[in-house]
Structure 1
Amino acid sequence: MTTKKQRRGYPFQPGSDQALSGRGWALVMAGCLSGFLALATVGAGVPGAAGHWLSVLLFLGLPLAGLRLAAGRGWSLMFPPPTGRDVWIGLAFAPAVLVASAIVALIVVRAGLTTANPVVGLLAGLKGWDLAVFVASTLPQLLGEELITLLPFLGLLALFHGRFRMGPKSAVICAWLISALLFGALHLSTYGWNPAQAVGVIGVARLVLTLPFLITRSVWSSTVTHVTHDWLLFGSMLLFGAA
């Protein structure tokens, strides 16, 4: 006789053996903030590929360090063993992100509120090995982007459900919306402090990007969506640039 496989829960939540204290969540948030600041500043201070890779690795490593200090060995709960379901759900949501962000982008374009994406110019100037190295560096960077979104999501979820006693569905929705808003806000400097594009387009894309995590409770699933989405965009940029 077989039993139904138990569904994963959200890690580090109140009432669980791996729940984080307020101090623990402060360490996690400090790691996320320091990782973002490293990505924004280290590359400018250290020129060339070395600076780029150093900033990307710090962007990923510092949130992980904060989580390790806060959760001890329990930090690995953020990375459950991936399954085929995690992968196919991640792949299935990539087109949804493209469609959602394209719809909002079209509205922003029609309103005359667009700011050029700097990645377009960067890709246009890369060839051969340099292009391959840049694309490879997006793997740790996109995993870092998942961490600096999903760790605050989990922290907000713990706050709303555990401390404020909100219902589980309401807590998830509030944490989902706020974490997407924060993710969009982190892109303000990238898009010339244009809130319509950073918070509007990127924020909406982030809402869809988080859905695979909400379904599977696996960071690997949302990372598959994020990588697939961005690589499809890169490929489109290169294709249209060549044309």
Structure 2
Amino acid sequence: MARRDFPYYRGAPVALSATGWVLALGGCVAGFLALILVPRGPLGGLPGLVAPLLFVILPLAGLTLGAGRGWMALFPRPRLLDILIGVAFAPLVLAVSGVVAFVFSRLGPAVSNPAAVIVAQLEGMRRLVFIGGTAPQLLGEEIVTLVPFLALLTLLHGRLGLSKHRAIAGAWILSAAIFGLLHLPTYGWNLLQVLLVIGAARLVLTIPYLLTKSVWSSFAAHLTLDWSIFALVLLGSARA
């Protein structure tokens, strides 16, 4: 089995020019703006799927403009091991984010995740549509985290001359901070919460990608994490 490496930063399968990276990162920005600005209509309605789908399509369009057919390197053929590693990391993400959230709650007010509240309130098909819509949204979150990670890796290793391991560490931390900042509207613009709690969760979520070099692995971790939380919320509401 061939050993994978991160794409782009060493020019394989393609080397993105400065313009190419601007297009790829611009697609991430466009996707995020679509996610927060495109009207969704009533919660659980089919129009609510448009924004999450654009959150995937626009970043991939930007990456395609920047990397051509090399965009597919972000999605290597999934292996069972990739998925298993991702699923195995979900409990660790939950534990780490739970501990950090507990400590943070002792320091100041925290905002709860509104998605869990919405899942508990919706019923029937609307609940299924809402939960189903989180799948493309979570895939979009992986793309808009890992494309900046690869851009930072390219900058730190290729341009600034850091060793590979230091460049990976720097890109890992900075991309987690970016991921946290994207959640500012969701968590009432609480800067410390998104950097500490969400950022800590993202650090762990990215580890499956670091191990497998596959977006499918970190996506499996993210999907397992969020859907497990939804299942726990529904179980709790059913017992109430």
Structure 1 residue 225 and structure 2 residue 221: aligned? yes
Change (3 A) 1:17 1:128: closer
| Alignment partner, residue 209 of structure 2 | 213
Is the Cα contact below 8 Å between 2:119 and 2:131 reproduced in 1?
no
1:109-163 residue CA offsets vs partner (Å, 9 max, x unmatched): 1223211321133112211111111111111111100000000000000000000
1:196 Cα deviation (Å)?
2.5
Whether the 8 Å contact between 2:13 and 2:70 is mirrored in structure 1 is no
Residues 1:199 and 2:195 are matched in the alignment:
yes
Map Cα deviations across residues 11-57 of structure 1 (whole Å, 9 max, x no partner): 111343411111100000000000000000102xx523244211111
2:53 counterpart of 1:57: yes
Does the 8 Å contact 2:46/2:129 carry over to 1? no
Q: Aligned partners of 1:163, 1:59: CA distance in 2, in Å?
A: 29
| 2:97 is the alignment partner of 1:77 | no
Partner of 1:110: 106
In the alignment, the residues of structure 2 paired with residue 198 and residue 52 of structure 1 have an alpha-carbon distance, to the nearest angstrom, of 24
The CA deviation string for residues 190-236 of structure 1, in whole angstroms up to 9 with x for no partner, is 11111232111110000000000000000000000000000011111
- Counterpart secondary structure, 2:14: coil
User: Do 1:20 and 1:70's aligned partners in 2 also have CA atoms closer than 8 Å?
Assistant: yes
Q: Secondary structure in 2 aligned to 1:80?
A: coil
- The equivalent of 2:137 in structure 1 is 141
After superposing the two structures, state which structure 1 stretch, 95-104 or 231-240, moved more.
231-240
Q: Which runs of 5+ in 2 are unaligned?
A: none
Is 1:67 aligned with 2:58?
no
Coordinate RMSD, CA, aligned: 1.2
Specify the alignment match of 1:20 in structure 2: 16
Unaligned runs of 5+ in 1: none
Distance 1:204 1:10 in 2: 22
**Aligned 8 A contact 1:42 1:51 in 2:** no
- For residue 6 of structure 2, what is the amino acid of its counterpart? Y
Aligned-residue sequence identity (percent) comes to 50
Larger displacement relative to structure 2 (146-155 or 123-132):
123-132
1:99 matched to 2:95: yes
- In 2: Cα distance, 1:182 partner to 1:15 partner: 24
117-126 or 205-214, which deviates more: 117-126
1:47 to 41, 49, 65: 41
Contact preservation (8 Å) 1:56, 1:141: yes
Corresponding pairs, count: 237
Quote the residue 1:150 is aligned against.
146
Residue 173 of structure 2 corresponds to residue 177 of structure 1: yes
Query: Residues of 1 paired with 2:116 and 2:65: CA distance?
Result: 38
Q: What is aligned with 2:156?
A: 160
